[in-house]
């Protein structure tokens, strides 16, 4: 990944989609929705998994985020493939993607940036170093906040302003307002829907301010795959188990 601290010209700053294609053409989902597609594959673009199976509803929600600059939250139980689904959509659009895990150690400084002592012309000077959010918002990046409901309150309020359509990011320390890149996109994954842990399964998750929840334009739910679909994915990953005995073993593993 290109470092936010790198002073060399960043080709991402001028990268734009070169064509448009329908969701039906790229993902096999029955929809005429048109999405932008990048021709060049940047190093930030996820690798394509040819055996991946797309959930139609979730795919349409994510594609709407890419096509119409909507903020999309994907909710679901652990292991349903929420982040992977976003990555695989982005991979087929050649859209540069960065994932940030919002655990309790991610602070406001990590996202916004901080003053750092650097060497310049043999002298130590104090210089502001951008965090991940200012870096990403200026580029055609799909920024994915994983474990969104585990984020600290002070971090969540930093994100809140960016959630608005064309939301600008204000850096108070720099007296600077950053306009988002036309192709910047924002996604999140979460186990709960902003109400905290009501099931006892996700200790450590937070209740999310409803004013912030309202700023997510689309909230979609991704459930576990059906048994036969999951078995088919495993079989595609392990070609040597395509015989009857292999299929029986796969079915037994998936059932567990």
Q: Which conformational region is residue 28 in: left (phi greater than 0), alpha (psi within -120 to 50 degrees), or beta?
A: left
Helix (H, G, I), strand (E, B) or coil at 101: strand
pLDDT (0 to 100) of residue 241:
81
pLDDT tens-digit readout, 130-177: 889 999 999 999 999 998 988 888 888 888 888 877 778 888 777 888
Nearest-angstrom CA–CA distance, 187 and 46 = 15
Distances, alpha carbon 163 to alpha carbons 69, 203, 205, in Å: 11, 26, 20
Query: Is the per-residue pLDDT at 1 higher than 60?
Result: no
The closest of 87, 80, 82 to 226, measured between CA atoms, is 80
Identify the DSSP state of 224.
Answer: P
pLDDT (0 to 100) of residue 202:
65
The mean pLDDT value for 236-244 works out to 79
Strand partners, 169: 178
The closest of 199, 192, 197 to 213, measured between CA atoms, is 192
pLDDT (0 to 100) of residue 23:
97
| Backbone φ, ψ for residue 97 (5° rounding) | -135, 140
The mean pLDDT value for 187-205 works out to 73
Domains in the chain, start-ordered, CATH in brackets? 11-101+136-224 (3.40.50.300), 226-256 (no CATH)
Strand partners, 128: 115
Contacts of 244 (CB under 8 A, 6+ apart): none
Residue 217 · residue 70 · CB < 8 Å: yes
């Amino acid at each position: 990944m290109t470092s936010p601290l790198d002073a060399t010209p960043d080709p991402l700053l001028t990268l734009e989609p070169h064509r448009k294609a329908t969701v039906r053409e790229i993902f096999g989902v029955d929809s005429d929705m048109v999405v932008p597609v990048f021709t060049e594959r940047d190093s930030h673009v996820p690798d394509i998994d040819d055996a991946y199976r797309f959930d139609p509803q979730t795919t349409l929600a994510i594609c709407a985020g890419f096509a119409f600059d909507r903020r999309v939250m994907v909710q679901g139980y652990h292991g349903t493939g929420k982040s992977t689904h976003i990555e695989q959509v982005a991979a087929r659009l050649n859209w540069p993607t960065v994932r940030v895990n919002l655990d309790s150690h991610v602070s406001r400084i990590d996202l916004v940036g901080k003053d750092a002592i650097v060497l310049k012309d043999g002298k130590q000077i104090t210089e502001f170093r951008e965090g991940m959010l200012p870096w990403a918002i200026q580029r055609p990046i799909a920024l994915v906040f994983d474990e969104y409901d585990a984020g600290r309150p002070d971090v969540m309020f930093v994100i809140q302003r960016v959630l608005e359509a064309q939301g600008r990011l204000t850096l108070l320390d720099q007296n600077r307002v950053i306009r988002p890149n036309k192709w910047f996109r924002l996604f999140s994954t979460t186990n709960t829907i902003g109400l905290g842990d009501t099931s006892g399964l996700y200790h450590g998750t937070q209740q999310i301010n409803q004013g912030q929840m309202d700023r997510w334009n689309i909230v979609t739910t991704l459930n576990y795959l059906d048994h036969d679909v999951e078995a088919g994915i495993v079989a595609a990953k392990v070609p040597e188990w395509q015989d009857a005995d292999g299929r029986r073993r796969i079915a037994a593993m998936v059932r567990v």
